[in-house]
Amino acid sequence: MKFSIQKLKMAGSEPLTFEDYVDISEVEEMNNDIRKINPVFVKGYATMQGDEVSFHFSIDGTMVLPCARTLVDVNFPFHVDALEVFSTSPYYTEEDESEIHPVSGEILDLTPYIKENVLLEVPFRVFSDDKEVQENALTEGEGWEFTSEKKTTDKVDPRLQKLQSLLDDNDQKENQ
């Protein structure tokens, strides 16, 4: 999604509106959990004031992530509201530690900032809601077992069985 600085200047004080689908499938190749992402819908407006260009936009889309429990594909819809500020001033450099991005040349490319905002939206983990997947998921294996609050029972570890019998004896003595 590219914008001409000249076109932004010609808009004057009126905001320049835009909306389009943007293909950011390159994020699938990066070292993250995104398995697939369809083109995202970007809608917003840009305003220019002096040497600063402000982009207010929203990003809507769906990414496919692995389920944290079963590793099956999970569709994760997302919505991001973003604000990116750019400076066309020749005196402004990337070394400044503010959130204002320098623009070099006559074309401003918003696509890397769209990718960045989408990557920031990737959740830590997602779970599949599909009942069939949950029923067929492994619940135990060699040396491990999945337990949940629903499945927990008052099973006593065999190594602590002797201790449990002592506690039961003490309870009986107190009740007498």
Percentage of the chain exceeding pLDDT 70: 81
The CA distance from 42 to 59, in Å, is 5
Residue 44 has pLDDT above 90, yes or no: yes
Q: Which two tokens stand for residue 51?
A: 């040497």
More confidently predicted of 151 and 173: 173
Quote the pLDDT of residue 153: 55
What would the pLDDT profile of 63-116 be if each residue is shown by its tens digit?
998 888 777 888 899 999 999 988 887 776 666 556 788 787 888 888 999 999
Mean pLDDT of 17-41: 88
What would the pLDDT profile of 102-137 be if each residue is shown by its tens digit?
787 888 888 999 999 999 888 888 887 766 665 556
**pLDDT band (50, 70, 90) for residue 156:** low
Residue 38 has pLDDT above 70, yes or no: yes
- Strand pairing class (52-66; 36-37): antiparallel
The CA distance from 15 to 9, in Å, is 10
Quick one: which of 127, 122, 126 has its CA closest to 31? 122
CA triple 131-65-117, angle to 5 deg: 140
Residue 21 has pLDDT above 90, yes or no: yes
Q: What is the pTM of this model?
A: 0.69
Residue 149 has pLDDT above 70, yes or no: no
The CA distance from 87 to 102, in Å, is 5
- Count of CB atoms within 10 A of residue 45's CB? 15
The CA distance from 46 to 85, in Å, is 10
By the 10 Å C-beta count (0-12 exposed, 13-18 middle, 19+ buried), 56 is classed as middle
- As a three-state string, the secondary structure of the chain is CEEEHHHHHHHCCCCEEEEEEECCHHHHCCCCCCCEECCEEEEEEEEEECCEEEEEEEEEEEEEEEECCCCCEEEEEEEEEEEEEEECCCCCCCCCCCCEEECCCCEEECHHHHHHHHHHCCCCCECCCCHHHHHHCCCEECCEECCCCCCCCCCCCHHHHHHHHHHHHHHHHHHC
